Chains A and B, each alone.
Chain A
Amino acid sequence: DARVTQTPRHKVTEMGQEVTMRCQPILGHNTVFWYRQTMMQGLELLAYFRNRAPLDDSGMPKDRFSAEMPDATLATLKIQPSEPRDSAVYFCASGFSGGRGRNIQYFGAGTRLSVL
């Protein structure tokens, strides 16, 4: 049963600390997405990759957030330094782009981040 795996599931940290969230996309998928979900803003797209290349990270605060795909099996989202307003659930999703009927995204269970 292929699934997107995110680690850690929960993270509590103090303001100013670095946070790294990891995602293992489904094998064979060529797109990876990072989302942030909060009660106030709902679901926001932060960044996405196609064939490991960043296509759009305009939703991400550039001064503190960075997203990378060091290889096809790992995507990372880093926050440095973290702030209390970064507290949210962060989701990774993967999929296969191109062609009608595709573009389905498969979501991980999320990383719940609390910055104190």
Chain B
Amino acid sequence: GDSVTQMEGPVTLSEEACLTINCTYTATGYPSLFWYVQYPGEGLQLLLKATKADDKGSNKGFEATYRKETTSFHLEKGSVQVSDSAVYFCALSEPSNTGKLIFGQGTTLQVKP
């Protein structure tokens, strides 16, 4: 079945460092891809999305490109801030368009001043 694999965390960075969180997927068909973020004590929020190959999603300085050839959707940010400390989830939509999402296990990011 369809699945999402994220890099293991936690990831600890200093403020202004570059961030990459790897995400690869296995899917039949052509799913949409998402990154969600969960700040402490809150629910998940959509960070960015891409609906087809070579699309780039971006928001709040974060970017991710839908790479069909490598089945990847890595999350990147050029300069992280302490306020980016959170858990990041990669997800894909089921091709049957039920609205169901398949989530990765989440990657915790801690940014130190």
Contacts and interface: CB of A to CB of B under 8 A. Distances in A.
Contacts of A55: 98
A34 interface: no
B105 interface: yes
B40 to A, nearest CB: 12
A101 B32 contact: yes
B49 A104 contact: yes
A29 to B, nearest CB: 9
A51 to B, nearest CB: 11
B106 A103 contact: no
Contacts of B101: 103, 105
A103 B99 contact: yes
Interface string A75-109: 00000000000000001010111111111111111
Interface stretch (A13-21, A40-48, A66-74): A40-48
Contacts of A107: 36, 43-45
Interface of A: 4, 30-31, 33, 42-43, 45, 48, 50, 55-56, 91, 93, 95-110
Contacts of B44: 43, 91, 93, 105, 107
B25 interface: no
Nearest to A91: B43
Secondary structure at the B interface, as helix, strand, loop or mixed, is: loop
A95 B34 CA distance: 14
B97 A97 contact: yes
B105 A42 contact: yes
A55 B98 CA distance: 9
Nearest to A48: B100
A33 B40 CA distance: 21
A93 B52 CA distance: 24
Nearest to B43: A107
Nearest to B45: A107
Contacts of B105: 42-43
B49 A42 contact: no
A109 B45 CA distance: 10
Given A42-B103, A43-B105, A107-B43, 17 more contacts: A4-B43, A30-B99, A33-B100, A42-B106, A43-B44, A43-B106, A45-B100, A48-B98, A91-B44, A93-B43, A97-B98, A100-B32, A100-B51, A101-B32, A103-B94, A103-B99, A103-B101
